[in-house]
A and B are shown apart, each in its own frame.
Chain A
Amino acid sequence: MNDLFIIAPFTIGLIILLGILIGKYVVWTIQLSQIDKLRILHGFFTVRTFRAIREIFWESLLHRNIWKTNPLLGYMHMSFALGWLLLIIVGHIEAYVQASSLSVPPWIPIFFRYFEHEHFYGARFFAHTMDVLLLYILSGVVLAYGKRINSKLFGIKRTTKLKPKDRISLIALWSIFPLRLFAESATAVLHGNGGFLTSGIVFRYLQVTPNIEYTLWVLYSCSLAIFFITLPFTRYMHIPTEVFYIFLKEYGIKLKKQFNSYSKIQVYSCSRCGICIDACQMHHAQISNNQSVYILKNIRDENLTDRKLYNCLLCGRCEDACPVNINLNDLRISQRIKSSKEYNSSYDFLEYSITEKADVVYFAGCMTHLTPGIKKSILTVLDTAGVNYLFLDKDKGACCGRPLMQAGQIEAAKKLIAYNRQQILESGAHTLLVSCPICYKVFRDDYELGQINIRHHSEYFLELLHNQKITIRNTQKSIVYHDPCELGRGCKVYEQPRELLQSIGTLKKVKHEKVESLCCSGSLGDLSLSMVERNKIKEQTLEVLLKPNPDILATSCPLCKKTFVKGVDIQVKDIAELVAENIQSN
């Protein structure tokens, strides 16, 4: 029989795959900025490369992050990745041992049993080992079938929808290993070279002719070829791209505001595991088309609509859950920048005025001005502690620029940033005090304030407490603390507000805390969500927060407070108000 029909599909598929992959990666690397290219060059011969390899081992092979979220899903991914790699490695060793040489045609290890029937030293051992590995992968394949039929079995509430090309690739991938099992079993019946799995089970009651054997091997080769050729055009592109991404990430390349080739690499690294869908709170409002996995898919297919793009709270829960560590929020913002670049504002009405000198500059921000209780409390605490401060936006203040950033209006945001930045720097202050996490985030990320310490009021008040500038009375009341998204996941401030609250009352734990905390639904990141939908999400969040029956629901964001206050009977207080109420004058 003609061996060509077995060798050719596999070889052609592999060559096409490698050609496309190398082409794409070379183009993407060339498109990186000059500094990023230098980062790769400088990082290459350092410990960073080893760190990347270690991460690839943990994430791309063992899928540790998926294990943490969902062990069954982790097992499935691991069986495919690790099992297949080991099958290739052991297969090659087997071929080298059999030939007693390293020069073996590349297709021999892939179709080893078909080509080599003669007994060699260690043949039994290899046959059994290869069968163990095949069985391991097959167990993953069975789970994959199960997941498609009923994703709930996996504890996944929702899973991604497939496109026709994905389906072809998926069927090819699913049939590779069963076909290999059948082909090897057929050969084992004819030549007696199988292991414990392949030597009997499948063809015990069936007549095998060389024709059947040949056909099965050809089918096996074809399924490999189809998978290889469709890989770069389907979600399986994530397999090689994730490896590439981990290297670039380790070399210190960061996502830019504008969508560039590194953003593209991140987009293609998404495996569409669907973990972000479960993390997203939008399903409480029956919205199931705007989750990060779909957005990334739309970016690939270039059919992203504004409605989907702007319908996201930017709470960052998906980013935290993502096993590949894709910067989902910033990727979405980069798309918003692209979509809205034609209509930015200039804000030429802003007039530069002379700023007074002070030690501390207090920037309240729009949201604090909307909640005068918080503003008053901050000023009370500052006065009690005797801080020499300047209230920067007391009468006429511009917005901090974060809402514009979130909406993708980056050029407009830069105008506000330049305006506020100049005033802050001119004051000569050593500390900038902010009472809104939305402002806090943009001050930290985009203002480039140099030596000035930027403090959220929860951090600043705790410092005052530690320095004995203020003393706080303990009320013994029970408090639940809600982490604002921009302060928690956005700026990683979790402990300071909690420590401060512990001096005021008894802090109670809730189900989703700190990095897993839920969004209040008031976020300015979303431009499409209606009030009705926002309320549905808010109710779910409140249900979690009010479970321990606290006396006070505390938060440290005026927007969160404003959102919650309309929905509960108990007291909703900002941390500043709690401090101001219980402050004792020295």
Chain B
Amino acid sequence: MMKQFGYNSLKSRTIDYKNINTTLISYIIKNEPSFSSCISCGSCTATCSAANLTFFNIRRLNIQIRLGEFENIRQEIDKCMLCGKCLLVCPRGINTRNVIMLIKKGLVTFNLVE
């Protein structure tokens, strides 16, 4: 009704913790347990070569994956060049490159996008 008068209805931003799609996060943590120790400090994003060229943001990806939001994730993850700087700065010693590879693989394996 309101749309006819030029209004848009916003998509719901509610996070339903009971119905989160945990396929990808469980797959990653199973194969790379160190990922569960991430404290979201953002060191990886600060040093990232891809983030220097684009808006690529591993920390944001991390949060999205944990919430099971896979929109745009495929395009985003493709920006990583696997250079490994994040690996060296991570204070928790997380094997970030393996996480990236697992995300890439998981998206294809579980058919999560497109």
| 25 A–B contacts from the bound complex (CB under 8 Å) | A340-B101, A343-B107, A345-B78, A345-B81, A347-B78, A347-B81, A349-B53, A366-B49, A366-B85, A367-B84, A367-B85, A369-B49, A370-B85, A396-B53, A403-B82, A403-B83, A407-B97, A407-B101, A409-B82, A527-B95, A528-B95, A530-B34, A530-B93, A531-B95, A559-B88
Binding site for B on A (CB under 8 A): 306-307, 310, 340, 342-343, 345-347, 349-350, 366-367, 369-370, 395-399, 401, 403-404, 407, 409, 412, 416, 522, 524, 527-532, 559, 562
A310→B104 CA distance, assembly (Å): 15
Residue of B nearest to A393 (CB): B49
Q: How many interface residues does B have (CB within 8 Å)?
A: 28
New A-B contacts (9) at CB < 8 Å, excluding given A397-B52, A412-B81, A530-B95 = A347-B79, A366-B49, A367-B85, A396-B52, A399-B81, A416-B81, A522-B88, A527-B95, A528-B95
For chain B, residues 69 to 87, give those with C-beta under 8 angstroms from any C-beta of chain A. 77-85, 87
Given A307-B31, A343-B108, A562-B88, CB of A528 within 8 Å of CB of B98: yes
A399→B100 CA distance, assembly (Å): 16
A562→B79 CA distance, assembly (Å): 25
Are B95 and A349 in contact, with the CB atoms below 8 A?
no
Are A342 and B101 in contact, with the CB atoms below 8 A?
no
Q: Which 6 pairs between the two chains have the least Cβ-Cβ distance?
A: A531-B93, A399-B81, A366-B83, A345-B78, A343-B104, A399-B83
Are B108 and A529 in contact, with the CB atoms below 8 A?
no
Give the shortest distance, in Å, between B54 (CB) and chain A (any CB): 5
Residue of B nearest to A558 (CB): B88
CB neighbours (8 Å) of B89 from chain A are 370
CB neighbours (8 Å) of B60 from chain A are none
B62 on interface, CB distance cutoff 8 Å:
no
Residue of A nearest to B94 (CB): A531
Give the shortest distance, in Å, between B114 (CB) and chain A (any CB): 13
For chain B, residues 6 to 42, give those with C-beta under 8 angstroms from any C-beta of chain A. 31, 34
CB neighbours (8 Å) of A409 from chain B are 82
A366→B82 CA distance, assembly (Å): 10
A347→B49 CA distance, assembly (Å): 13
Give the shortest distance, in Å, between A112 (CB) and chain B (any CB): 60
Task: Give the most central of A340, A395, A522, A531: most B CB within 10 Å.
Answer: A531
Give the shortest distance, in Å, between A71 (CB) and chain B (any CB): 41
A409→B100 CA distance, assembly (Å): 12
Are A527 and B101 in contact, with the CB atoms below 8 A?
yes
Binding site for A on B (CB under 8 A): 31, 34, 47, 49, 52-54, 77-85, 87-89, 93, 95, 97-98, 101, 104-105, 107-108
Given A343-B105, A343-B107, CB of A527 within 8 Å of CB of B98: yes
Which of B78, B97, B108 is in CB contact (< 8 Å) with A524?
B97
Residue of A nearest to B55 (CB): A349
Task: Give the most central of B49, B54, B79, B93: most A CB within 10 Å.
Answer: B49
Are B108 and A403 in contact, with the CB atoms below 8 A?
no
A203→B94 CA distance, assembly (Å): 68
A16→B65 CA distance, assembly (Å): 56
Give the shortest distance, in Å, between B66 (CB) and chain A (any CB): 21
CB neighbours (8 Å) of A404 from chain B are 81-82
A556→B85 CA distance, assembly (Å): 18
A562→B84 CA distance, assembly (Å): 12
Give the shortest distance, in Å, between A192 (CB) and chain B (any CB): 70
CB neighbours (8 Å) of A397 from chain B are 49, 52
Given A349-B54, A366-B84, A530-B34, CB of A398 within 8 Å of CB of B49: yes
CB neighbours (8 Å) of B105 from chain A are 306, 340, 343
CB neighbours (8 Å) of B85 from chain A are 366-367, 369-370
A432→B7 CA distance, assembly (Å): 58
Give the shortest distance, in Å, between A90 (CB) and chain B (any CB): 57
Residue of B nearest to A339 (CB): B105
Give the shortest distance, in Å, between A261 (CB) and chain B (any CB): 27
Residue of B nearest to A409 (CB): B82
Are B82 and A370 in contact, with the CB atoms below 8 A?
no
A349→B80 CA distance, assembly (Å): 11
Give the shortest distance, in Å, between A545 (CB) and chain B (any CB): 20
A367→B104 CA distance, assembly (Å): 23
CB neighbours (8 Å) of B78 from chain A are 345-347
Are A350 and B95 in contact, with the CB atoms below 8 A?
no
Give the shortest distance, in Å, between A535 (CB) and chain B (any CB): 9
Given A403-B81, A403-B83, A524-B84, CB of A310 within 8 Å of CB of B54: no
Which of B79, B95, B97, B107 is in CB contact (< 8 Å) with A345?
B79
Residue of A nearest to B88 (CB): A562
A327→B95 CA distance, assembly (Å): 27
A528→B79 CA distance, assembly (Å): 21
A306→B79 CA distance, assembly (Å): 22
Task: Give the most central of A346, A366, A395: most B CB within 10 Å.
Answer: A366
Residue of B nearest to A529 (CB): B95
CB neighbours (8 Å) of A369 from chain B are 49, 85
CB neighbours (8 Å) of A559 from chain B are 84, 88
Given A343-B107, A366-B49, A370-B47, CB of A399 within 8 Å of CB of B82: yes
CB neighbours (8 Å) of A396 from chain B are 52-53
Residue of B nearest to A532 (CB): B93
A529→B98 CA distance, assembly (Å): 9
CB neighbours (8 Å) of B81 from chain A are 345, 347, 366, 398-399, 401, 403-404, 412, 416
CB neighbours (8 Å) of B83 from chain A are 366-367, 399, 403, 524
Are B47 and A350 in contact, with the CB atoms below 8 A?
no
CB neighbours (8 Å) of B84 from chain A are 366-367, 403, 524, 559
CB neighbours (8 Å) of B98 from chain A are 310, 527-528
CB neighbours (8 Å) of B34 from chain A are 530-531
CB neighbours (8 Å) of A367 from chain B are 83-85
CB neighbours (8 Å) of A342 from chain B are 108
A404→B50 CA distance, assembly (Å): 13
Which of A340, A345, A350, A530 is in CB contact (< 8 Å) with B80?
A345
Give the shortest distance, in Å, between A313 (CB) and chain B (any CB): 13
Residue of A nearest to B33 (CB): A530
A350→B56 CA distance, assembly (Å): 13
A397→B52 CA distance, assembly (Å): 8
A412→B82 CA distance, assembly (Å): 10
CB neighbours (8 Å) of A307 from chain B are 31
